[in-house]
Amino acid sequence: MLGVAEIEVLFERYLPFIPEEYLAVLVIVGVVIAGLTFVLRTVINPMLDFYQRLKNLFGSNRKAELGDTLRPDIEVLRDVWLKERPPHAIIGADEVAAKATVISVLNMKGGVGKTTVTANLGAALKELGKRVLFIDFDYQGSLTMMVAGGTEKIVREIGVESYRSLYPLAPEALPDVVTPLSGNLSGCGISGASYALFRDEMEQFAKWSANTLDYDVRLQFRQFVLSDYVQNNFDIVLVDCGPRFTTSTINALCGSTHFLVPTILDELSTRAVSYLNKELSRHRDDLFPNLKLIGILPTFVAQDPREQPKFSAAEREQLGQLADTFSSYTFREPVLEQARIPDKKIFSKNSDGLAYFADKSAKAIFDRAAKHILKNI
């Protein structure tokens, strides 16, 4: 910062035409301006920057993270997925008759047991005589690893081909998307995933946004599950969706007949379910008007379903809030309390396999859940 003497020298050198009687006033003004500039740069700007950081941390970004309503001007995903692409119209309300039941298992929050439910529920449905097709639409590939471990296979023996169902496929290519399973899951199949799915999802999203595709990117999985190959070989298709509204999630919802929402009974998870409901509502009428809700499945609760239902006061509070979610859907019961999944160490111990085949209590839990879920379809 310049002092008074330095400013006076500068004025005398570069502004000699200024009368001496005004020089003192100009020097004072210069000192004030220099002082204000110094204060602005060293004090006020850092304070404003710190305030903005706090606002972002505890304000709008925090609300969005917890599932509150997004700002009304942020409609990017909705605009992309609902925008028509001639000659492809927005999906109509007519539903093609299908023999197989297609269930999307989804939640916008990770760590709620979504993949555990998908894998072990599929095993229980197989025991009930259903031919199950597992679809891994989460590029982390957790379902692929779990099913592989449960059938005494290694992951590299299972094709990671789920990304191919997001593209137009000739009928003769459809069997290549599915790996037939043997052993405990004989008669079932899986379409596995790897990080290549993330690459293809992003590429298709970009091309769809730029209107450079000659096919409707939202309907490719629907065409896959409605094909004769899937309809004739499988009774139930279980889709493990990632916690994002990506290309694969939109495809899964457009191709599904039902959806199931696993969730932990805590406030953060309840907010995530509320957010999911809002996002589904934004797209439902135009993209998947006939999608049916099976119910909300409580996971990792303290009570075993073989006992009389007893939830803690905190869990009951969350159950009450969840019961009011998805009110626009028709269902037998909003929350599947009788099908709930208790918190058992066997599930964490079998994160790379199927607890259903490893533990009698896990088998009993998912046998009960599968029967209850089938009643709600």
Phi first, then psi: give them for residue 365, nearest 5 degrees: -60, -50
Q: Count CB atoms within 10 A of the CB of residue 40.
A: 11
Both tokens of 3, joined, read: 């002092």
Q: Which of 278, 258, 219, 325 is CA-nearest to residue 78?
A: 278
Residues 6+ apart with CB under 8 A from 177: 159, 161, 162, 164, 165, 169, 191, 224
> Is residue 65 one of the residues assigned to a domain?
no
What are the φ and ψ backbone dihedral angles of 234, each rounded to 5 degrees? -140, 145
363 phi and psi angles, rounded to 5 deg: -60, -45
Residue 67 lies in a domain: no
206/195 Cα distance (integer angstroms):
17
Residues 27 and 88 in one domain: no
- Secondary structure, 3-state, 236-303: EEEEEECCCCCHHHHHHHHHCCEEEEEECCCHHHHHHHHHHHHHHHHHHHHHCCCCEEEEEEEEEECC
Q: Is residue 63 part of a domain?
A: no
Q: Are 279 and 328 in the same domain?
A: yes
Tell me the pLDDT band of 55, cut-offs 50, 70 and 90: low
Q: Are residues 227 and 358 in the same domain?
A: yes
For residue 283, what are the contacts with CB-CB under 8 A and spacing of at least 6?
78, 81, 82, 250, 253
Which region among 69-83, 91-105, 109-123, 140-154 has the lowest average model confidence (pLDDT)?
Answer: 69-83
Provide the domain count of the chain: 2
Judged against a pLDDT cut of 70, whether residue 369 lies above it is answered with: yes
Residues 21 and 167 in one domain: no
Domain contains 321: yes
Span 2-25, pLDDT tens digits: 555 665 565 566 556 556 655 566
For 211, residues 6+ apart whose C-beta sits below 8 A from its C-beta are 85
**pLDDT tens-digit map of 116-138:** 999 999 999 999 999 999 999 99
Q: Is 369 contained in some domain?
A: yes
Tell me if 145 is assigned to some domain.
yes
pTM for the model:
0.77
- The distance of Cα 107 from the centroid of its chain, to the nearest Å, equals 6
Distance between CA 375 and CA 294 in Å, rounded? 9
Whether residues 39 and 89 share a domain: the answer is no
- 173 with 199, same domain: the answer is yes
Reported as a single tens digit per residue, the pLDDT across 303-339 is 655 665 678 788 888 988 898 899 888 777 889 998 9
Is 36 in the same domain as 134?
no
Q: Which of 194-198, 213-217, 344-348 shows the lowest mean pLDDT across its residues?
A: 344-348
Domain with residue 146: its CATH number is: 3.40.50.300
- The answer to whether residue 171 scores a pLDDT higher than 50 is yes
Whether residue 297 sits in one domain with residue 268: yes
Query: Would you say residue 192 has pLDDT above 90?
Result: yes
Asked if residue 175 is part of any domain, the answer here is: yes
Q: Looking at the structure, tell me whether residues 84 and 213 fall in a common domain.
A: yes
In-domain check, residue 256:
yes
Q: Taking residues 352-371, report their average pLDDT.
A: 93
Token reading at 290: 């006939």
Same domain, 46 and 130: no
Distances (CA, A) of 43 to 4, 34, 343: 22, 14, 53
Do 262 and 169 sit in the same domain of this protein? yes
Length of the chain: 377
Find the helix or strand (DSSP H, E) in which 117 lies: helix 114-127
Shared-domain flag, residues 303 and 362: yes
Owning domain of residue 244: 72-375
Measured CA to CA in angstroms, residue 116 lies from 96, 286, 343, 352 at distances of 30, 31, 12, 10
